């Protein structure tokens, strides 16, 4: 159901400039304009234009005197005649020829240097541009008019024309969905009108402000109140033509407000009254607007067959005006309705036709509505992968609008968001059904953008923008569709001037359409292939030698393969001695993805432990409970996961059985695949394990400071024998010293690499993921690849940053490993510790110090050292308590020498994000 319903601004959108004549002494009676006068102007239009051309040529070529004063008078007289005829043509609805005449008049006025006439002419020109959907041109010219109006010596004239200019400028901004700037313009205009107290200006501004609040920003009650005021003013001036326009617009505004409030019956009444008012005044634009709104009303009620009737009437009405953009918008809405009654082919064709014309304008709302229409109809056709592409494009438009209203009150911003929130949730749901959790989470995060920004101030994450990216297999479809739309724009321009290339362009369109359809077919085939293949998945039914070696090196372990299909989850397992088995679990990929996403959101939101445990327990029932009998029968103490698709986003340590977390019962690790996992090497003793530490503590462009990083690295790395702290010998590079060059020059011959900084994972394009260097530069995956020869001595890499365990080339978890995987490639590190979400700076620092303390004891494997560090936070216990048998002599201290506070980190958010990937020995 559409909620973001705007008041269409296809009618003459600002004050008709006829009241300006009152300021030059012309009577109110002459301002009244009846339907008979409109008809007469239409009949005489061509004669007027022809006579104008002949008269002007005669007067300008031979009849002007040499006397400068007389010449000036004659030029002004000619300009006034052209101006008056231009207004008649304008009133007859021929905006294109009217524009030519106004521009001719303006040229003469400039020669005569009459500011008053020039400003009025500029206003007409800017309004024509506005009604012909050239919003930037309209804005620029209205701003020129405003500047000129400010110079007028007569205060009333200056205020009147300044106010009128601001109305036009605001209307252009509103059509581009730049609501904050539009409201500012109109508020200024209202202030200027106080000295004039012109009811036309007052009511015109009010209906515009009300429309933006209600239908641009979702503040429906406010819209009703303001537009009702405008309607009351207009009704007091029934004999003025502008009164009909304001009444029709106000009635539409109020009707759309009721539509937004889902009071559809009341809305329908106001739309019908608006339609009658427009017809009484022979206003085809007002009639068109009311018909479109009636169509929307029927769509919102699910009565699509009746909506079709209204949109067909709207198209017939607007065709008489030659307004192709308005017609295209109605055609697209007709297509949307056809999609809901099962006429999919016709629906897509009409949506495409509408977008081809509107794409060349700055009419963002129309683009958004058509793109979401594609998404809705494709989803109805059971083509979710294609629907996702168009929903992404629509969401990117609404995000650009959110950026433009960032200066408005937070409540207003949230109201706007509420008008499109359902579309974001639909997109997220489509992504979850495909198992594309990071992208779904990114979409859902857009619904709480301000909370995310606040959250990242205390984490090693960054909010890098709101643009939804396309995956590699989506991008060719986007490009092909873009080419098709671009050609549609060429055809539209050709039709405007009836160029001789039209048939050739039509042939190109047929070829491009065929190419686009082939691209879509290839895309669907790629999706099907990705659903069947996952190169990193190893089936234990044919257990490889590498898997046997892994289990022999970990005899108390079980290797668990959660394998996700569309309609069920398979738990495949293998244990030392060649035992294998499989258990089917009845849960769809979509259902599993939804709970995984919900669990992740609860963890990162620091939700109450009972809420986290509820989601966690459901995942436990699906992933662990079916295997409990085997685990207990074989005295299993270690779980090694070879995760598939969405399960790769689950912090297994935080799964809850109703009494305990999985971490409390088992040592947990992950391997990308047994084939690429070392099963023999262990980290050497402290003195033989030289470390390189790199960290960011200061704020760099776009990233917050991480003050706990200095303490973290100081406690882990001992720079020399005189260093009283630190555990492993090595070297630390902080902030400006932490550069890519420093990493490349110093990583060779190191056994441990510890990086503590910001990081960002790009869900759709993991190759765009990066680690932030100390000078603000970004280290990308390509940079890691270049260093491959220098990484061969590494045993352990700890990425003490955010989302470094995430990745994925298909967007749904396939081949997920992200930044961490590039340190695990052949002849590089054996083990990587990385994170699944944006981690907290302080608790991460403490967790990392604890991990190295336990590891340095020499009594624990890497996987068990990480487990004990996590348990120390969960239980709020210090190192000595957790490891009483060890001889750990290094205390965990803050920079001022006082013991670090350990309270407050029991929530899984603090201890569960880090996972060990690879060799856990």
Torsion of Cα atoms, 107 then 112 then 114 then 120, to 10°: -20
Q: Are strands 557-564 and 569-575 parallel, antiparallel or unpaired?
A: antiparallel
**What does the pLDDT read at residue 753?**
96
**What does the pLDDT read at residue 539?**
42
DSSP strands (E only) in 473-611: 557-564, 569-575, 579-585
- What digits encode the pLDDT tens for the residues 146-174? 999 999 999 989 999 999 999 999 999 99
- What digits encode the pLDDT tens for the residues 689-722? 999 999 999 998 878 899 999 999 999 999 887 7
Secondary structure of 790-858 as H, E, C letters: HHCCCCEEEEECCCCCCCCCCCCCCCCCHHHHHHCCCCCCCEEEEECCCCEHHHHHHHHHHHHHHHHCC
Residue scoring higher pLDDT (249 or 834) = 249
Query: CA-to-CA distance for 301 and 259, rounded, in angstroms?
Result: 10
Query: CA-to-CA distance for 260 and 6, rounded, in angstroms?
Result: 10
**What does the pLDDT read at residue 436?**
76
- The CATH label, of 3.40.50, 1.20.950, 1.10.730, 3.30.43, for the domain at 686-918 is 3.40.50
The alpha carbon of residue 415 and the mean position of all alpha carbons in its chain are separated, in whole angstroms, by 16
- Is the pLDDT at 33 greater than 90, yes or no? no
- What digits encode the pLDDT tens for the residues 351-389? 999 998 888 888 999 999 999 999 999 999 999 999 999
Identify which of 155, 152, 125, 149 has the alpha carbon closest to the alpha carbon of residue 138: 125
Six-digit token pair at 203? 């009511």
Q: Are strands 667-670 and 691-695 parallel, antiparallel or unpaired?
A: unpaired
Residue scoring higher pLDDT (392 or 812) = 392
Q: Is 720 helix (H, G, I), strand (E, B) or coil?
A: coil
Q: How big is the chain by its Cα radius of gyration, in Å?
A: 34
Q: Are strands 691-695 and 728-734 parallel, antiparallel or unpaired?
A: parallel
pLDDT band for position 878 (cuts 50, 70, 90): confident
**What does the pLDDT read at residue 802?**
67
Q: Is 780 helix (H, G, I), strand (E, B) or coil?
A: strand
Report the length, in residues, of the chain: 921
Six-digit token pair at 385? 């992968």
Q: Which residue has the tokens 């685990």?
A: 631
**What does the pLDDT read at residue 523?**
77
Helix, strand, coil shares, percent, the chain, to 5? 60, 10, 30
Identify which of 261, 247, 263, 135 has the alpha carbon closest to the alpha carbon of residue 200: 247
Q: Which residue has the tokens 């009351």?
A: 232
Q: Is 392 within 8 Å of 384 (Cβ atoms)?
A: no
Q: Is 95 helix (H, G, I), strand (E, B) or coil?
A: helix
Q: Which residue has the tokens 């990117």?
A: 396
- Is the pLDDT at 916 greater than 90, yes or no? yes
- Is the pLDDT at 225 greater than 80, yes or no? yes
Question: Residues near 742 by Cβ (< 8 Å), separated by ≥ 6?
Answer: 694, 733
pTM over 0.85: no
Q: Is 681 within 8 Å of 818 (Cβ atoms)?
A: no
**What does the pLDDT read at residue 551?**
86
Secondary structure of 739-755 as H, E, C letters: CHHHHHHHCCCCCEEEE
Residue scoring higher pLDDT (563 or 779) = 779
**What does the pLDDT read at residue 445?**
64
Question: Could you give the percent of the chain with pLDDT greater than 70?
Answer: 81
**What does the pLDDT read at residue 410?**
66
Identify which of 641, 635, 693, 690 has the alpha carbon closest to the alpha carbon of residue 665: 635
- What digits encode the pLDDT tens for the residues 499-531? 888 888 888 877 887 777 788 787 777 766 665
**What does the pLDDT read at residue 112?**
57
**What does the pLDDT read at residue 889?**
31
Q: Is 769 helix (H, G, I), strand (E, B) or coil?
A: coil
Six-digit token pair at 667? 């040592």
Q: Is 692 helix (H, G, I), strand (E, B) or coil?
A: strand
Q: Is 77 within 8 Å of 63 (Cβ atoms)?
A: no
**What does the pLDDT read at residue 714?**
94
Q: Is 522 within 8 Å of 494 (Cβ atoms)?
A: no
- Measured at the CA of 509, the angle between CA 507 and CA 512, to 5 degrees, comes to 115
Domain ranges of the chain: 396-529, 543-676, 686-918
- What digits encode the pLDDT tens for the residues 34-77? 333 333 334 444 444 444 444 444 444 444 445 555 556 677 78
**Nearest-10 crossing angle of helices 199-211, 155-175:** 20
Q: Which residue has the tokens 């056709």?
A: 381
Backbone phi and psi for residue 126, each to the nearest 5 degrees, phi listed first: -65, -35
C-alpha distances out from residue 252 to 238, 270, 274, 290, 367, Å: 18, 7, 6, 7, 21
**What does the pLDDT read at residue 394?**
93
- Residue 703 has what DSSP assignment? B
Query: CA-to-CA distance for 355 and 106, rounded, in angstroms?
Result: 35
Q: In what order do the strands lie in the sheet with 759-760?
A: 759-760, 770-772, 778-780
Question: Residues near 404 by Cβ (< 8 Å), separated by ≥ 6?
Answer: 177, 178, 179, 180, 181
Tell me the average pLDDT of the chain: 81
DSSP line for 339-375: HHTT-HHHHHHHHHHHHHHHTTS--HHHHHHHHHHHH
Question: Could you give the percent of the chain with pLDDT greater than 90?
Answer: 43
C-alpha distances out from residue 813 to 347, 809, 828, 907, Å: 33, 8, 23, 26
Query: CA-to-CA distance for 198 and 221, rounded, in angstroms?
Result: 26
Identify which of 713, 701, 676 has the alpha carbon closest to the alpha carbon of residue 536: 676
- What digits encode the pLDDT tens for the residues 606-636? 777 788 888 999 999 999 999 998 888 888 9
Query: CA-to-CA distance for 878 and 891, rounded, in angstroms?
Result: 9
CB atoms within 10 A of CB 153: 8
- What digits encode the pLDDT tens for the residues 274-314? 999 999 988 888 999 999 999 999 999 999 999 999 999 99
- What digits encode the pLDDT tens for the residues 651-686? 999 999 999 999 999 999 998 777 778 888 899 999
- Measured at the CA of 138, the angle between CA 219 and CA 284, to 5 degrees, comes to 70
Question: Residues near 565 by Cβ (< 8 Å), separated by ≥ 6?
Answer: 589
Query: CA-to-CA distance for 809 and 530, rounded, in angstroms?
Result: 10
**What does the pLDDT read at residue 898?**
38
**Nearest-10 crossing angle of helices 410-433, 589-604:** 140
**What does the pLDDT read at residue 809?**
39
**What does the pLDDT read at residue 564?**
81
Most distant pair of Cα atoms in the chain: their distance: 115
Least confident of 205-214, 337-346, 823-832, 843-852: 823-832
Q: Is 330 helix (H, G, I), strand (E, B) or coil?
A: helix
Can you name the residues that pair with 151 across neighbouring β-strands?
none
Query: CA-to-CA distance for 825 and 845, rounded, in angstroms?
Result: 27
Q: Which residues of 158-184 are buried (b: 16+ CB within 10 A; e: fewer)?
A: bbbbbbbbbbbbbbbbbbbbbbbbbbb
The alpha carbon of residue 277 and the mean position of all alpha carbons in its chain are separated, in whole angstroms, by 39
Burial of 901 (0-12, 13-18, 19+ CB in 10 A): exposed
Secondary structure of 619-663 as H, E, C letters: HHHHHCHHHHHHHHHCCCCEEEECCCHHHHHCCHHHCECCCCEHH
**What does the pLDDT read at residue 632?**
86
- Is the pLDDT at 427 greater than 60, yes or no? yes
- What digits encode the pLDDT tens for the residues 724-771? 889 999 999 999 999 999 999 999 999 999 999 988 766 556 567 788
Query: What average pLDDT does the segment 131-143 reach?
Result: 92
- Is the pLDDT at 121 greater than 50, yes or no? yes
pLDDT band for position 399 (cuts 50, 70, 90): confident
CATH fold of 543-676 reads Nucleotidyltransferase; domain 5 (3.30.420)
Query: What average pLDDT does the segment 565-574 reach?
Result: 83
Question: Residues near 493 by Cβ (< 8 Å), separated by ≥ 6?
Answer: 360, 499
Q: Is 677 within 8 Å of 719 (Cβ atoms)?
A: no
pLDDT band for position 415 (cuts 50, 70, 90): confident
Query: CA-to-CA distance for 567 and 619, rounded, in angstroms?
Result: 16
**What does the pLDDT read at residue 552?**
87
Q: In what order do the strands lie in the sheet with 831-835?
A: 579-585, 569-575, 557-564, 638-641, 667-670, 914-918, 831-835, 796-800, 752-756, 691-695, 728-734, 717-718
Q: Is 716 within 8 Å of 727 (Cβ atoms)?
A: yes
Q: Are strands 728-734 and 579-585 parallel, antiparallel or unpaired?
A: unpaired
Query: What average pLDDT does the segment 232-246 reach?
Result: 88
């Amino acid at each position: 159901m559409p909620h973001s319903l705007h008041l269409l601004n296809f009618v003459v959108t600002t004050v008709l400039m006829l009241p300006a004549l009152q300021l030059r002494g012309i009577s109110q009676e002459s301002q009244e304009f009846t339907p008979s006068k409109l008809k007469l102007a239409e009949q005489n239009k061509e004669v007027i234009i022809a006579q104008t051309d002949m008269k002007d040529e005669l007067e300008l070529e031979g009849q002007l005197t040499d006397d400068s004063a007389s010449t000036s008078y004659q030029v002004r007289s000619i300009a006034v005649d052209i101006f008056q005829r231009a207004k008649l043509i304008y009133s007859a609805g021929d905006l294109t020829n009217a524009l030519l005449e106004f521009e001719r008049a303006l040229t003469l006025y400039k020669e005569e240097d009459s500011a008053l006439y020039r400003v009025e002419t500029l206003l007409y020109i800017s309004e024509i541009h506005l009604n012909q959907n050239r919003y930037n041109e309209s804005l620029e010219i209205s701003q020129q008019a405003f500047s000129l109006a400010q110079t007028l010596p007569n205060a009333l004239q200056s205020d009147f024309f300044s106010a009128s200019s601001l109305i036009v400028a605001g209307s252009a901004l509103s059509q581009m969905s730049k609501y904050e700037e539009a409201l500012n313009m109109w508020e200024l205009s209202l202030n200027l009108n106080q000295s004039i107290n012109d009811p036309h200006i007052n009511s015109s501004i009010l209906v515009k402000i009300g429309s933006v609040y209600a239908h641009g920003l979702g503040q429906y009650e406010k819209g009703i109140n303001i537009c009702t005021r405008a309607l009351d003013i207009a009704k007091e001036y029934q004999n003025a033509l502008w009164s009909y326009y304001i009444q029709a617009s106000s009635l539409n505004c109020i009707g759309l407000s009721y539509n937004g409030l889902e009071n559809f019956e009341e809305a329908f009444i106001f739309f019908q009254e608006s339609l009658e008012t427009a017809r009484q005044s022979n206003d085809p634009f007002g009639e068109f607007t009311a018909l479109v709104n009636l169509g929307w009303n029927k769509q919102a009620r699910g009565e699509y067959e009746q909506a079709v009737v209204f949109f067909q009437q709207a198209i017939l009405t607007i065709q008489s005006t030659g307004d192709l953009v308005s017609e295209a918008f109605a055609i697209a809405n007709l297509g949307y309705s056809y999609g809901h009654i099962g006429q999919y082919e016709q629906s897509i064709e009409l949506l495409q036709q509408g977008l081809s014309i509107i794409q060349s304008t700055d009419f963002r709302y129309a683009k958004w509505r058509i793109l979401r229409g594609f998404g809705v109809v494709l989803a109805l056709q059971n083509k979710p992968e294609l629907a996702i592409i168009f929903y992404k494009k629509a969401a990117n438009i609404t995000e650009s609008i959110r950026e433009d209203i960032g200066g408005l009150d937070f409540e207003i911003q949230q109201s706007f968001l509420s008008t499109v929130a359902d579309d974001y949730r639909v997109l997220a749901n489509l992504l979850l059904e495909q198992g594309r959790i990071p992208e779904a989470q990114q979409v859902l995060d857009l619904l709480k953008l301000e909370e995310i920004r606040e959250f990242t101030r205390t984490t090693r994450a960054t909010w890098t923008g709101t643009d939804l990216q396309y995956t590699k297999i989506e991008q060719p479809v986007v490009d092909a569709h873009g080419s098709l739309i671009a050609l549609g724009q060429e055809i539209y321009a050709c039709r405007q001037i009836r160029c001789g290339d039209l048939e050739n362009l039509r042939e190109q369109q047929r070829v491009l359409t065929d190419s686009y359809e082939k691209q879509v077919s290839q895309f669907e085939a790629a999706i099907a292939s990705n659903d069947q293949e996952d190169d990193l998945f190893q089936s234990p039914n044919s257990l490889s030698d590498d898997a046997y070696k892994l289990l022999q090196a970990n005899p108390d372990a079980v290797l668990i393969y959660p394998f996700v299909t569309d309609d069920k989850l398979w738990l495949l397992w293998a244990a030392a001695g060649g035992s294998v088995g499989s258990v089917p679990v009845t849960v769809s990929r979509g259902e599993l993805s939804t709970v995984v996403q919900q669990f992740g959101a609860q963890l990162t939101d620091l939700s109450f432990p009972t809420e986290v445990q509820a989601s966690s327990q459901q995942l436990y029932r699906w992933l662990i409970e079916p295997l409990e009998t085997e685990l207990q029968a074989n005295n299993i103490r270690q779980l090694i996961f070879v995760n598939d698709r969405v399960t790769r986003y689950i912090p297994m340590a935080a799964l809850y059985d109703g009494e305990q977390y999985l971490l409390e019962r088992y040592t947990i690790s992950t391997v990308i695949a047994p084939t690429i996992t070392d099963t023999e090497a262990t980290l050497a003793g402290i003195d033989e394990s030289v470390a390189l530490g790199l960290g960011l503590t200061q704020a760099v462009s776009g990233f917050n400071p991480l003050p706990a990083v200095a303490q973290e690295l100081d406690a882990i790395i001992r720079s020399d024998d005189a260093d009283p702290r630190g555990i492993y010998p090595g070297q630390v590079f902080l902030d400006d010293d932490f550069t890519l060059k420093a990493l490349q020059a110093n990583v060779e011959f190191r056994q441990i690499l510890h990086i503590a900084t910001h990081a960002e994972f790009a869900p759709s394009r993991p190759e765009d993921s990066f680690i932030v260097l100390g000078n603000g530069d970004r280290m990308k995956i390509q940079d890691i690849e270049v260093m491959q020869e220098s990484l061969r001595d590494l045993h352990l890499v700890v990425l003490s940053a955010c989302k470094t365990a995430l990745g994925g080339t298909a967007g749904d978890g396939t081949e997920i490993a992200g930044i961490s995987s590039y340190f695990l490639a052949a002849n590089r590190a054996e083990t990587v510790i990385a994170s699944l979400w944006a981690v907290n700076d302080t608790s991460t620092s403490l967790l990392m110090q604890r991990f190295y303390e336990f590891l340095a004891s020499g009594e624990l494997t890497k996987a068990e050292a990480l487990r004990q560090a996590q348990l120390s936070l969960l239980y709020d216990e210090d190192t000595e308590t957790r490891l009483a048998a060890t001889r750990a002599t290094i205390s965990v201290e803050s920079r001022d020498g006082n013991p670090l506070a350990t309270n407050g980190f029991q929530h899984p958010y603090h201890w569960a994000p880090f996972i060990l990937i690879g060799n856990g020995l």
